Amino acid sequence: MIQTCRHCGAELSRQFLDLGYAPPSNAYLVAEDLTAPEITYPLRLMVCDGCFLVQTQDYTAADSLFDKDYAYFSSTSKGWLAHASTYTEMIRQRLGLTQESFVVEVASNDGYLLRNFVEAGIPCLGVEPTASTAAAAEALGVPVLQEFYSETLAKKLAGSGQSADLIIGNNVYAHVPDINDFTRGLAKLLKPEGVVTLEFPHLMRLVEFCQFDTVYHEHFSYLSLGTVKRIFEIAGLRVFDVEELPTHGGSLRIYGSRVDSSHTEQASVATLLAEEKSRGMETPEFYADFQRRAEDIKNQFLRFLLDARRDGKTVAGYGAAAKGNTLLNFAGVGPDLLPFVCDAAKAKQDKLLPGSHIPVLPPVVLGDNRPDYLIILPWNIAEEVRKQNASLAADGTQFVTFVPEMSIS
């Protein structure tokens, strides 16, 4: 199968990572599903030698990944709610948003962020394709349009007088299969002096800290500032500011506008572009050793679980997250080595993880089944999980993470 770059159309020949075969990371199962075949897809990344966009090979469609039973609810994490609240206050002041403004969030999920604009009396609209999360947002009073965002939808909204002073896209840019269409849609919906902010994991940090478990079918693209700048410019947008964030192991928040807007480009853009270049992000060598590093972490994970079973130690997991599913399926781990995983999201409880078929239980079970080791699969919220489970630590449970390297505390 010949694949071309989703942005520039160049033929792809350079493989970055091969994690074998896996089901979609959020395709949780119930017991009845085990009587039917489970579909898996190759999980591989390619690098474009033209524009250096990193992308998954094409095997799955977005509407099959983000369906009515989509189980990721942003509000489950208190840390993420705080992040959203802090952003809202900052952007209100920076842009001078008022009750006369209009805010659109693309992939608004369960209303975790727009609820803050509703409370402030600032008109807003969420665009969210998944029925489960859209319903949760509407219950909070957030207006939601249940569709996938596209240039066509943007034109429709703009034509109905719903052009935006601010468009927000948190952890959605990597999830869109047609990144050019999506970006043109941002340009079409913005007012002449409107601003778009996008947050996404930074490819530079993914490689630096070997965050291979952030690779899953729902992530179609893996992004650097340099590549995003090129995508924006072709769509009639420009990046005028960028911030580095600690979220998801190292993310970027970019600020964009129409090319002819009055927003002044900040020094942060040139500074980060220079750092990406100095690290060789637009050379093949930058990606060459990633496969071996990922395999080293996988082998260390397996050795830990096998040694724990040999030594009679009990192990449980915390966080039925996509990151964990990637690691578990890459390593071939099942309930024999990891009997259960706890998660606070009710939508995931009493289900089975895709591929590994490990049961997902509510966190309360840890009180009666205190493990010797609790593996925190979503390492990006490890500190939050430790604080929530401080009573386990007091009883002797040790917390374990594996990315970028094994840590036991």
Question: What are 242-251's pLDDT values in tens digits?
Answer: 999 998 889 9
Domain contains 127 = yes
Which residues does 36 contact at the CB level (< 8 Å), separation at least 6?
none
Domain contains 171 = yes
Domain contains 146 = yes
214 pLDDT above the threshold of 90: yes
- d(C-alpha 131, C-alpha 308), whole Å: 41
Q: Are residues 182 and 324 in the same domain?
A: no
Q: Are residues 189 and 271 in the same domain?
A: yes
Q: Are residues 306 and 243 in the same domain?
A: no
The length of the chain, given as a count of residues? 409
Q: Alpha helices of 62-221 — where are they, by DSSP H?
A: 62-65, 78-95, 114-119, 131-139, 151-159, 179-189, 203-208
- Please say which residue of 245, 265, 287 terminates a domain: 287
62 pLDDT above the threshold of 70: no
| Beta strand residue intervals within 34-83, DSSP E | 41-47, 54-56
Q: Are residues 264 and 361 in the same domain?
A: no
Q: Are residues 214 and 338 in the same domain?
A: no
User: What pLDDT is recorded for position 267?
Assistant: 98
Structural domain that includes position 191: 74-287
What is the band of 1 on the pLDDT scale with cuts at 50, 70, 90?
Answer: low
Q: Are residues 250 and 233 in the same domain?
A: yes
Percent of the chain with pLDDT over 70: 95
Which residues does 156 contact at the CB level (< 8 Å), separation at least 6?
none
**Which CATH number do you get for residue 391?**
3.40.50.720
Please compute the mean of the pLDDT values over residues 176-193 and round it to a whole number.
97
User: What pLDDT is recorded for position 59?
Assistant: 62
Q: How do strand 341-342 and strand 315-318 relate by DSSP bridges?
A: parallel
User: What pLDDT is recorded for position 79?
Assistant: 82
What is the band of 336 on the pLDDT scale with cuts at 50, 70, 90?
Answer: very high
- d(C-alpha 127, C-alpha 129), whole Å: 7
363 pLDDT above the threshold of 70: yes
What is the band of 57 on the pLDDT scale with cuts at 50, 70, 90?
Answer: confident
User: What pLDDT is recorded for position 61?
Assistant: 54
Q: Are residues 351 and 397 in the same domain?
A: yes
User: What pLDDT is recorded for position 80?
Assistant: 84
User: What pLDDT is recorded for position 77?
Assistant: 77
Domain contains 67 = no
Asked if 44 and 57 count as a contact pair (C-beta separation under 8 A), the reply is: yes
Q: Are residues 238 and 180 in the same domain?
A: yes
User: What pLDDT is recorded for position 26?
Assistant: 86
Please compute the mean of the pLDDT values over residues 40-63 and round it to a whole number.
84
Condensed to tens digits (0 to 9), the pLDDT of residues 367-407 reads 888 999 999 999 999 999 999 999 999 999 999 999 989 99
Percent of the chain with pLDDT over 90: 86
**Which CATH number do you get for residue 250?**
3.40.50.150
What is the band of 91 on the pLDDT scale with cuts at 50, 70, 90?
Answer: very high
Asked if 313 and 339 count as a contact pair (C-beta separation under 8 A), the reply is: no
Domain contains 133 = yes
- d(C-alpha 63, C-alpha 403), whole Å: 30
Residue 148's CB is within 10 A of a number of other CB atoms, namely: 19
Q: Are residues 279 and 393 in the same domain?
A: no
- Please say which residue of 287, 319, 341 terminates a domain: 287
60 pLDDT above the threshold of 60: no
Domain contains 34 = no
Domain contains 220 = yes
Backbone angles phi, psi at 172, to 5 degrees: -120, -30
User: What pLDDT is recorded for position 347?
Assistant: 86
When divided into structural domains, the chain yields a total of 2
Q: Are residues 240 and 304 in the same domain?
A: no
Condensed to tens digits (0 to 9), the pLDDT of residues 215-241 reads 999 899 999 999 999 999 999 999 999
- Please say which residue of 287, 311, 328 terminates a domain: 287
Q: Which range, of 209-213, 333-337, 346-350, averages the lowest pLDDT?
A: 346-350
- d(C-alpha 31, C-alpha 163), whole Å: 46
Condensed to tens digits (0 to 9), the pLDDT of residues 281-321 reads 999 999 999 999 999 999 999 999 999 999 999 999 999 99
Q: Are residues 252 and 210 in the same domain?
A: yes
Domain contains 300 = yes
Please give the model's pTM, rounded to 2 decimal places.
0.90
Q: Are residues 130 and 159 in the same domain?
A: yes
Condensed to tens digits (0 to 9), the pLDDT of residues 12-23 reads 999 999 999 999
User: What pLDDT is recorded for position 208?
Assistant: 96
